[in-house]
Amino acid sequence: MNVTLLYFDGCPNWHEAERRVRQALAVAGVPADVLILRRVGTAEEAERLAFRGSPTILIDGADPFAEPSAPVGLACRVYRGPDGVCGAPSVEDLTAAFRVTG
């Protein structure tokens, strides 16, 4: 399994996403060394990567939380969770995504 966290420098939520991804990996029994952090630096790169905002978590290249109608670009992304809208997927949602993929 490969997990990539895509982010851009202007987003304050990617640090929380990284923390949650690492926690979910541990819960799912996946080694933490599968996580790659990748900064998206330009609008062109965002377009090429189909970057739907920061943070984006890819599992084996796929975005399990993607909404097809979400715009592509350098913007902060929001996720729906048990407590409403937040800046990163919950540990529970990430853990479930890792288990389905793994």
The per-residue pLDDT for range 6-54, each reduced to its tens digit, is 999 999 999 999 999 999 999 999 998 999 999 999 999 999 999 999 9
Record the pTM: 0.92
Q: Are 59 and 53 in contact (CB under 8 A)?
A: no
Those residues whose C-beta lies under 8 Å from the C-beta of residue 1, and which sit 6 or more positions away, are: 30, 34, 59, 60, 98, 101, 102
The enclosing domain of 80 has a CATH number of 3.40.30
**Number of other CB atoms surrounding residue 20 within 10 Å:** 22
Number of domains in the chain: 1
The residue range of the domain holding 53 is 3-101
